[in-house]
Amino acid sequence: MSSVILRNVNKSYGNLPIVKNLNLEVKDGEFVVLVGPSGCGKSTTLRMVAGLEDITQGEIQIGSRAINDLPPHKRNIAMVFQNYALYPHMSVRENIVFGLKKSGADAETIKEKLADVSEMLKLDDYLDRKPADLSGGQRQRVAMGRALARDADVYLFDEPLSNLDAKLRHHMRTEIARIQHQYNMTAIYVTHDQIEAMTLGDRVVVMRDGIVEQVGTPMEIYLQPTNTFVATFIGSPAMNLIEAKIEGEDLVFDNYRLPAAKIANVDLQDLKSHDTVLVGIRPDFFEDSALSSPSDNLFEFNDIQVELVENLGFDKEIMFKLGGEDAKARLDLRSHVKRQENISMSVDLNRVLLFDTSPQGMLLNTGEV
Identify what 44 binds: Mg ion, ligand ADP, none; CB under 5 to 8 Å per kind. Answer: ligand ADP
Look at residue 18 and give the partner it binds from Mg ion, ligand ADP, none, a contact being a CB closer than 5 to 8 Å depending on partner kind: ligand ADP
b/e burial code for range 229-263 (CB count within 10 A of at least 16 → b): bbbbbbbebebbbbebebeeeebebeebbbebebb
C-alpha closest to that of 211 among 322, 45, 87, 30: 45
What is the size of the binding site for Mg ion (CB under 5 A)?
1
DSSP string, 119-185: HHTT-GGGTTS-GGGS-HHHHHHHHHHHHHHS--SEEEEESTTTTS-HHHHHHHHHHHHHHHHHHT-
Closer residue to ligand ADP in complex, CB, 43/226:
43
Distance (Å, whole) CA 19 – CA 13: 10
State in angstroms the smallest separation of the CB of 207 from Mg ion: 11
Picking from 355, 354, 356, 352, the residue whose alpha carbon sits closest to that of residue 369 is: 352
Instruction: Give me the least distance between CB of 190 and Mg ion, in Å please.
Output: 6
Report the SS3 class of residue 187. Answer: strand
- CB of 71 vs ligand ADP, minimal distance in Å: 19
- Is the separation of the CB atoms in 205 and 34 below 8 Å? yes
Residues of this chain that interact with ligand ADP (CB under 6 A) are 13, 18, 36, 38-44
Residue with smaller CB distance to ligand ADP, 120 or 215 = 215
Nearer to ligand ADP, 40 or 117 (CB): 40
- Provide, rounded to whole angstroms, the least separation between the CB of residue 167 and ligand ADP: 25
Closest CB to ligand ADP among residues 11, 141: 11
We find the least distance from the C-beta atom of residue 15 to ligand ADP, in angstroms, to be: 11
Q: Given the complex with ligand ADP, which of 40 and 329 has the nearer CB atom?
A: 40
d(CA 79, CA 187): 10
CB of 215 to ligand ADP, least distance (A): 16
* Residues paired with 244 in a beta bridge: 277
**Residue 43 or 346 with smaller CB distance to Mg ion:** 43
**Smallest separation, CB 43 to Mg ion (Å):** 3
Instruction: Tell me which stretch binds Mg ion (CB under 5 A): 37-45, 241-249, 292-300, 306-314.
Output: 37-45
- Choose which of 22, 32, 35, 43 interacts with Mg ion (CB under 5 A): 43
The entry of Mg ion, ligand ADP, none that residue 39 binds, CB within 5 to 8 Å by partner kind: ligand ADP
Q: Of all residues in the chain, what percent are helix, strand and coil, respectively (each to 5)?
A: 30, 35, 35
Q: Are 364 and 270 in contact (CB under 8 A)?
A: yes
Helices then strands, counting H and E runs in the chain, come out as 9, 21
Are 299 and 347 within 8 A, CB to CB? yes
Whether 29 and 184 have beta carbons less than 8 Å apart is answered as yes
Smallest distance from ligand ADP to CB 212, Å: 12
- DSSP 8-state assignment for residue 294: P
Q: Residue 18 or residue 306: which is nearer to ligand ADP going by CB?
A: 18
The item of Mg ion, ligand ADP, none sharing an interface with residue 138, based on CB under 5 to 8 Å by kind, is none
- Which one, 40 or 349, has the nearer CB to ligand ADP? 40
Binding partner of 156, given ligand ADP, Mg ion, none, CB within 5-8 angstroms per partner class: none
Vertex 157, ends 154 and 158: CA angle to 5°? 140
139 contact, one of Mg ion, ligand ADP, none, CB 5-8 Å limit per kind: none
Interface positions with Mg ion (CB under 5 A): 43
